[in-house]
Amino acid sequence: MAGIDDFGNNIVQKGADPTGSKDSSAAIVAAMGAGSDIIFIPKGVYAVKKI
């Protein structure tokens, strides 16, 4: 059975940093462009400079 992590729209799997130490903008943009209506954002603190 597929879980949420299997759909490829988990921003951490796209390279986002849930500690807030690094900019996660590119990972969020990559998840938005992955062709799904659902983007999974796991619990954490995300630094976002520009989307």
Q: What is the pLDDT of residues 4-39, one digit of tens each?
A: 556 568 999 999 999 999 999 999 999 998 877 889
Question: 1 pLDDT exceeds 60?
Answer: no
Q: Which of 2, 26, 6, 23 is nearest to 14 (CA)?
A: 26
Number of domains observed in the structure of the chain? 1
Range of the structural domain that residue 36 is part of: 1-51
For residue 8, what pLDDT is reported?
Answer: 64
SS3 31: helix
Phi, psi of 50 (to 5 degrees): -160, 130
Categorize the per-residue pLDDT at 51 as very low, low, confident or very high, splitting at 50, 70 and 90: confident
Categorize the per-residue pLDDT at 3 as very low, low, confident or very high, splitting at 50, 70 and 90: low
Q: Where are the alpha helices (DSSP H) in 1-51?
A: 25-32
